[in-house]
Chains A and B, each alone.
Chain A
Amino acid sequence: MKLLTKSTLLIATLSLFLFFIMGIIFFQVLKNMSKANLDRELFDLKELVEDHIENYQANHIIALPGIDSLSIQSIQLNRQAGEFLGDTLMYDSKEKQFKTYRYIQFISVKGDAAYQVRIYKSTNPTDYLVERVTLMMTLMVILFLAGIFILNRFIFANLWGDFFKAIDKLKEFETNKEPVILGEQDIQEFEELRLALEMMTSRLASDYKELKEYTDHTTHELQTPLAVIKSKTELLIQSDRLGAEEMKCLEAINTSVNQLSRLNSTLALLTRIENKQFTEKEKIDLAGLLERHLELLEEPIGLRKIRVEKQFHQEAVVLLMDQGLADLLIANLLKNAIVHNKEGGRILLETEPDRLSIKNDGPPLSFKQEDLFTRFVRDTKRSGNFGLGLSLVKKVCETYNFLIEYSFENERHTFTVIFKA
């Protein structure tokens, strides 16, 4: 979730919750206030009515102004006196519906006659008022929320702009390995972040450069001594004076020096890819490329009795990349599919306009899947491999922003290269 979405959502839920509670309280208070107001009016009216009863014949009292309805009954005096307030519904014949009324009931005594009086007052006008006020409040809340939304967006863009710029710069770091330089920040926390980032990335960049140079120099400097060892061993095995023991030693030396020189040239290749020394771009037909490599790999495929199945997209899939790197990518993926296959297994090659998948039978990985593309991670049971093939594949993919995915299902490994524009 984005920071903006998250903060907006947080503000929205919190304020809605707050406004809901506040709304209920406000509504109740308003209601109570209007009720109290009505009651006060009813008491005033009661005094007025009592006055009238005292001065006139009770029967003659006509409805006084402010009274919506009135009932007077003569009762026995011995009946319990007292006054109380209540709510009731009365039918309004004019509007043909029940309406709520508030009333006050009291006993009024005049001489020896006693009357039970009820004064009714409609709650309609106050209810109406409460309704209106509540509606107004809700409207205001909605407006307020909308305002907060816009304000939040504005403040957000203002406050966090530099932060997002920093993120973009950091993303670039992944590809160009140049130290990240951000301008000075006026927000203290961001300034701290900037200093930390600049220090970290410049450190990383110099480490990276050193490592690269180190590998570069080492691989280069190793070439000559390796050539010497290789040639001297070859000369030595021509000697007639050596016995079986000496030859065994020489064989071990020979095998190791060959492995070492292969390792060395692969590392040199990795460094060169990292140094972006492959910049030529050519149009390469993927199916043709695969066919050519399959032909070159005929022997190892035949030797392990591996069946190769091809499902090529009907239209040619064309890649724009360096020929050398394309060869490297395909050669290593195919080699991987052969070496880690089982005797008599299958290789399935599928091409789509945006992807290539290579599937092969074989036992599951003997190490963690996350380490698959890491240098020197390999099946320990197999000698003569360095576990560099897939890191080469990964490097080539990184160079062209291709995505490489791996999965294992039903005793079958699948590598998928997704070509993004």
Chain B
Amino acid sequence: MQILIVEDEASLMDSMVSYLELEGFRCERASDYHTAVCVLDKHDYICMLIDLNLPGGDGLELVKLARENQSESGIIIISARDTIEQRVEGLDAGADDYLVKPFHLSELVARVHSVARRTRMKGGEVLSFGVISVHPDEHSCFVGKKQVDLTRKELDMLMFLMANRNRVVTKESIADYLWGEYGGGYGSYDFVYTHLKNLRRKLQDAGCPDYVENIYGIGYKFSLDKSP
């Protein structure tokens, strides 16, 4: 479960490493182009996070190089460049996903999970959490043996919460993950709340314990040992 992080901003690097290590990933750091090239073959990375603005070279070249060397790895570009053209360019270079700075760490983790799933498992994988199991490729969800009918958004939300299990995820990060640019700007996250309420109700109706915990209005925590 090794991840390579190429990022020149030390502070941001620290945050990502801390958060990902909490998730059980091990991280290899590279703060410039040449270090990155050197450590590219060091491990069999499950995912590589690459910044585009790097000292000593262009991140896009690194993406191409990484794609040649480790075809099995997932690659996520993390960059402040956010135009459509730049995203297309990044994906064309061989990246699996493109995350625009500044991003939520919870969103990063969710994307790492999903990229890792796509590249390593080649589908057919089952995600499970407590009594819940999710088949991402069939867009289906089960509580025990009982299928739960979830909307696309509810399923995405569930997978996001599962990827960030035992973490506090903020309302904003859920909104940004599910609705992208449409999440923000309404001055309220009521629809996050509405969807979450529906999701909890459906899961509980199917006999699932409530794993969701409200954390002081800042967000939610999805955990097995929810404090009552």
Binding site for B on A (CB under 8 A): 220, 223-224, 226-232, 234-235, 237-238, 244, 247-248, 250-251, 254-255, 258, 261-262, 265, 268, 272, 277, 296-297, 299-300, 303, 323-324, 331, 335, 338-339, 382-385, 389
A254 and B9 within 8 A (CB): no
CA distance A112 to B19 in the complex (A): 151
A382 and B187 within 8 A (CB): yes
A272 and B101 within 8 A (CB): no
Instruction: State the Cβ distance, B17 to closest chain A Cβ, in Å.
Output: 10
**Besides the contacts A234-B19, A235-B15, what 10 more A-B pairs have beta carbons closer than 8 Å?**
A224-B12, A226-B102, A227-B12, A228-B9, A228-B12, A237-B219, A251-B218, A258-B170, A262-B184, A299-B194
Instruction: State the Cβ distance, A408 to closest chain B Cβ, in Å.
Output: 22
B83 and A272 within 8 A (CB): yes
A238 and B22 within 8 A (CB): yes
> 1/0 per residue B142-153: CB within 8 Å of A?
000000000001
Binding site for A on B (CB under 8 A): 9, 11-12, 15-16, 18-19, 22, 80, 82-84, 100-106, 153, 167-168, 170, 172-173, 179, 181-182, 184-188, 190-191, 194-195, 215-219
User: Which residues from B are CB-within-8-Å of A247?
Assistant: 215-216, 218
Q: Which residue of B lies closest to A224 (CB)?
A: B9
CA distance A228 to B168 in the complex (A): 18
B181 and A234 within 8 A (CB): no
28 intermolecular pairs with C-beta atoms under 8 Å apart: A223-B80, A223-B101, A224-B12, A227-B101, A227-B102, A229-B102, A231-B12, A231-B15, A231-B16, A231-B102, A234-B15, A237-B215, A238-B168, A247-B216, A248-B217, A262-B184, A262-B185, A265-B82, A268-B82, A296-B182, A303-B190, A335-B186, A339-B186, A382-B187, A383-B187, A384-B185, A384-B187, A384-B188
B187 and A231 within 8 A (CB): no
Instruction: State the Cβ distance, A148 to closest chain B Cβ, in Å.
Output: 61
CA distance A300 to B194 in the complex (A): 10
Provide the main secondary structure of the chain A interface.
helix
CA distance A262 to B173 in the complex (A): 13
CA distance A44 to B50 in the complex (A): 124
CA distance A112 to B166 in the complex (A): 154
User: Which residues from A are CB-within-8-Å of B187?
Assistant: 339, 382-385
A384 and B186 within 8 A (CB): yes
B9 and A227 within 8 A (CB): yes
User: Which residues from B are CB-within-8-Å of A237?
Assistant: 168, 170, 215, 218-219
Q: Which residue of A lies closest to B107 (CB)?
A: A234
B170 and A248 within 8 A (CB): no
User: Which residues from B are CB-within-8-Å of A228?
Assistant: 9, 11-12, 15
B186 and A224 within 8 A (CB): no
B217 and A251 within 8 A (CB): yes
Instruction: State the Cβ distance, B13 to closest chain A Cβ, in Å.
Output: 10
User: Which residues from A are CB-within-8-Å of B167?
Assistant: 238
User: Which residues from B are CB-within-8-Å of A227?
Assistant: 9, 12, 80, 101-103
Contact of B103 among A230, A232, A244 (CB under 8 A): A230
Instruction: State the Cβ distance, A315 to closest chain B Cβ, in Å.
Output: 29
Contact of B173 among A234, A250, A272 (CB under 8 A): A234
With A299-B195, A303-B191, A331-B181 as known contacts, state yes or no: A258 contacts B101, CB within 8 Å.
no
Instruction: State the Cβ distance, A206 to closest chain B Cβ, in Å.
Output: 27
User: Which residues from B are CB-within-8-Å of A339?
Assistant: 186-187
CA distance A223 to B80 in the complex (A): 7
Contact of B216 among A235, A251, A258 (CB under 8 A): A251
CA distance A192 to B186 in the complex (A): 52
CA distance A324 to B19 in the complex (A): 33
Contact of A234 among B106, B182, B188 (CB under 8 A): B106
User: Which residues from A are CB-within-8-Å of B195?
Assistant: 299
Instruction: State the Cβ distance, A140 to closest chain B Cβ, in Å.
Output: 73
CA distance A166 to B179 in the complex (A): 50
CA distance A268 to B187 in the complex (A): 20
User: Which residues from B are CB-within-8-Å of A254?
Assistant: 170, 172, 218
User: Which residues from A are CB-within-8-Å of B83?
Assistant: 272, 277, 324
User: Which residues from A are CB-within-8-Å of B185?
Assistant: 262, 335, 384-385, 389
The 9 closest A-B pairs by CB, nearest first: A384-B187, A227-B102, A231-B15, A247-B216, A251-B218, A299-B191, A223-B80, A228-B11, A234-B105
Instruction: State the Cβ distance, A395 to closest chain B Cβ, in Å.
Output: 15
CA distance A303 to B182 in the complex (A): 14
User: Which residues from A are CB-within-8-Å of B103?
Assistant: 227, 230
User: Which residues from A are CB-within-8-Å of B194?
Assistant: 299, 303
User: Which residues from A are CB-within-8-Å of B84?
Assistant: 323-324
B15 and A258 within 8 A (CB): no
User: Which residues from A are CB-within-8-Å of B215?
Assistant: 237, 247
